Each structure stands twice: as structure tokens, then as C-alpha cells.
Copies of this chain bind each other. A is one copy, B any other.
Amino acid sequence: MLSSIIPFTPEIATEVSKYCTGVSEDQSAAQKEVWDWTCSQFQDAHKMSSPLQGATMKFLAEHQRAKRSNALAWYESTVATQAEIITLELDPKMIAASRRTFDKHGLNDRVTLIEGPAQESIEKLSGQFDIIFVDANKDGYEGYVKTALDNKLLSPTGFIMCDNVFARGMTISPDANPYLADGPRAYWTECGKALRKLNTFLKNDPRVDVVLLPVYDGVSLIKWKTTEYLKLVESIMASQVESIMASQVESRLRGREKEEKYANLLYISKGREVYKLTYMRVK
């Protein structure tokens, strides 16, 4: 199709949304509990990602086989389950809600909540993340993404997902959404200005590829360009080769029958070449 969006009326949009939800993966019991609880506790629960968007994020997180994720999320329904997760939160009410959910669903072994302004917190983070989910104050998005890229917090094969990049349509035009009520319109109009700036920044940043998907309230996906990916992989390898000599690795490999189940090995291929065995940690 030459245009990328099917125009639906509000009534039909609701029907299409329900149909998609019905034929996609079901929410887990825990997701449903958090969803219902959030709806009962927060007047602005309408800002929460839809169950279908939650299913989409769970799908992508599983597909990514993420080991580490940084969820800049206001709401807990979209948090993936198996990875190490670091979440940044400012609002005391949301901090309390998050801690209640982590306790109730036994997630404290894998989730770390860092309290305070996200920009300050993200600047202190280190290591690499497979998924970085940005769903926070819209005038902060550019800073969060820029810091994640500048400080190489995004893993070579990871992606950043920014939510609400349409700002209910206000990013595109003040006329884009006649159904938006006057109350939230002023808020989303301001968000739209910040998000136009973000989009220009992303489009012009030579380090990354970006697509703005016309789905949900606008979802931007960001990944390293191949040139940056290769630079990152080489730099990771170089630092690891220095710290572990090949001979050590070999001697351990020879005795690996007993030890291998504790070994953590990383091989990285670049085209047809395979780099050195660069990393091994035996407990």
C-alpha cells in the first residue's frame, strides 16, 4: 500500500484493537493483576500502554533474548520478566506502586529501582543494555537517548524503544487528532514540540538507524548502524583480550569436562573471520 496507515473511525479503531488483542498472546495472570490494580489506583491509568502493546513488548523482549534491560517506564505492566532490569523512577507514588508490584510478584531478585531524576541516574549507569525502553517526561527523551549512546549503554545488538512519539498526534500537527479532549490537549501539544526535536536529533545522528512506527501512540526503534556495531564489538574484544590471556583459556578448556558448566564464553564473528576466544569466567 502506498500509504502506511489505514484511517479508522474511533468506533472501528476500538474494534480493531480488540480483535488484535484477541488473536495475540494472552496477558499472563500477573500482567492482568498489575493492569487491573493500576486501573483501580491511578486516575491517569489511561496513559498506560494497552495490553496489546504489552504483549508486543513481551514478544520483542523474548525475541531479543535480553539479558539486561533498562526500563524508563512509568508503569510496570510492560516490564519483561527474565532479564536483569534497572528501572529509573522519580514520582514517589510510582516508586511505591513499583515496589508493591516487585514484592507481590517476587521480582526483587532481578529488578533494581533507582530513585531520582532519570537524567542524573542514567549518567551514573555503566555496562550495556539489550533493551532500553524510554517512556518518561517527553522533554527528557533526547537527553536520555543521547546519554545512552554517548556512554555506550546500548549493547552492540540492542535496541532503544521510545514510546508516545506521536504525542496523541500533536507531534505531527495540532489538527491531527480531533478526538483529543481539551484537558490533555495542552499537555500533549507541549510534548509534541519536544518530540519533533527528538526526531530531528535521531534522524541526523550518524551513529544510529531509526524508524518511527505508526503503531500505538508512535513507537521509535533505534539501533546502532553497522559501522558503530563493529567498532563497539572490536572495543569490547580488545578490553577482554587484554585481561585474559589465550593460554589461560586453553588450559581451562582442556579441563573443561568438569568446569564447563560454569564457563561463560563469548565468540564474536565478523563476516567470515572468527575472533579469538576472548572471555571466560570460571567460578
Contacts and interface: CB of A to CB of B under 8 A. Distances in A.
Interface of A: 1-10, 12-17, 19-25, 45-50, 52-53, 55-56, 59, 62-63, 65, 157, 159, 166, 168-169, 171-173, 175-179, 199-200, 202-203, 209-218, 221, 223, 226, 250, 253-254, 260-265, 267, 269, 272-274, 276
Contacts of A49: 1
Nearest to A164: B1
Given A46-B1, A202-B23, A221-B59, A176 B211 contact: no
A22 B172 CA distance: 11
Give the most central of A65, A169, A211, A269: most B CB within 10 Å: A211
A12 B169 contact: yes
Contacts of A20: 4, 211-214, 218
B12 A176 contact: yes
B217 A1 contact: yes
Given A23-B200, A221-B59, A274-B263, A48 B1 contact: yes
B7 A13 contact: yes
A22 B264 CA distance: 43
Contact of A2 (B48, B55, B203, B213): B48
Given A12-B177, A22-B203, A264-B274, 15 more contacts: A1-B49, A4-B53, A6-B166, A7-B10, A8-B169, A9-B178, A16-B176, A16-B214, A19-B171, A19-B172, A20-B211, A23-B212, A24-B212, A56-B211, A214-B215
B213 A50 contact: no
A4 B21 contact: yes
Nearest to A260: B274
A15 B173 CA distance: 9
A260 B63 CA distance: 30
Contacts of A16: 4-5, 166, 169, 172, 176, 214
Number of copies: 2
A4 B50 contact: yes
Contacts of A178: 9
Contacts of A159: 63
Given A12-B176, A211-B56, A226-B62, A199 B4 contact: no
19 contacts: A2-B45, A3-B13, A3-B17, A4-B20, A4-B53, A5-B16, A5-B17, A7-B10, A23-B199, A23-B212, A52-B211, A56-B213, A213-B215, A215-B215, A260-B274, A261-B272, A264-B269, A265-B267, A267-B267
